[in-house]
Amino acid sequence: MAGLFDRIRKGLSRTREAVAERIATVVGGRRLDEEVLEEIEEILLTADVGVDTAVAVTDGLRARAAAAGAEADVFDLLQTELEACLLTPPEVKINSLPTRPYVVLVVGVNGVGKTTTIGKLAQRHAEAGHKVLLAACDTFRAGAVAQLDVWAERAGVEIIRAQQGADPAAVAFDALAAAQSRDADVVFIDTAGRLHNKINLMEELKKVRRSIARQCEGAPHDTLLVVDATTGQNALAQATQFHAAVDLTGLVLTKLDGTARGGIAFALSKETGVPIHWIGMGETIDDLQPFNGRDFVAALLGREA
Ligand SMILES: Nc1nc2c(ncn2[C@@H]2O[C@H](COP(=O)(O)OP(=O)(O)O)[C@@H](O)[C@H]2O)c(=O)[nH]1
Ligand SMILES: [Mg+2]
């Protein structure tokens, strides 16, 4: 779909300027010799793809360029090499939820876009005709429930609220009981932002997870970590530690519109082995799009869909 790809292209424009445009300048009709390869590696590193990915990609370019000789188009080679570094997410389950209620736990540090992402996903599911329930388990921050409320109203979906200071594990438990008795199709559990290196807060999150599993066998069916692309390498530390604590099934990479460091998508895939499910490129609902490695790389390199 051209419209969709254009949106991704637009969202990735700052990273594209930092990667594709600089690589085009460096290559500029030259052969892919060691000097050019080194400069490409450097450019990839500044876009936060991480050392492993940068080295793997330039090694791959070197090998492919040798095989293809003078015919090699560096952007064709880059597309193949970069795409190979990304993991394919499972098919987006909006149209065919495998079980009911399908429970999605959403975690991450403060301000990364958890509540916004839930609002956007709730709206998508509501549009698909699903009965959606939101569980406001961010009982820590004043105003957090009200913020989720706004999204619930906008999407026309139900919400289970809790008092500020309530035990988030108990709220999650109650929300799942409500989801079962009301026959909800999908439940999104919003949690308080927490630093990945605060042990007690990570323990609290594990407790939320256990509480969900106790009320609903097999749940959570997805545990999504939301990370802010503008934080660059710190996003990696977050992903590693949250994954160790609550077994992530997917990542949501937000705020790609505000950064030239979109290369973090590659480092995240490589280091955690957890696929990116969604990318966020702005604050409106259409700015959250399913992740597709091929389109992501094409948009990054300024190629056609
Ligand atoms: N530019 C941009 N802003 C975003 C994106 N996702 C979320 N935001 C904004 O980030 C801020 C924090 O979002 P919020 O959902 O409250 O984060 P939470 O603390 O993780 O729940 C809000 O102002 C959102 O509008 C995105 O993809 N791009
Ligand atoms: Mg929030």
Question: Mind listing the pLDDT tens digit for each residue in 193-248?
Answer: 989 888 999 999 999 999 999 999 999 999 999 999 999 889 999 999 999 999 99
Mean pLDDT of 147-157: 95
Identify which ligand lies nearest to the alpha carbon of 278: 1
Torsion region of 151: left, alpha or beta (phi above 0 gives left; psi -120 to 50 gives alpha): alpha
Count of alpha carbons within 13 angstroms of residue 279, beta-carbon side: 30
For the chain, percent of residues with pLDDT exceeding 90: 78
**Number of the ligand 1 atom closest to the C-alpha atom of 147:** 16
* Cα of 190 from ligand 1 centre, angstroms: 13
Structure tokens at 59: 């090694």
Phi first, then psi, for residue 54 (nearest 5°) are -60, -45
| Ligand 1 neighbours (beta carbon < 6 A) | 108, 110-116, 193, 226, 254-255, 257-258, 280-283, 287
The model carries a pTM of 0.95
- How far is the C-alpha of 63 from the C-alpha of 75, rounded, in Å? 15
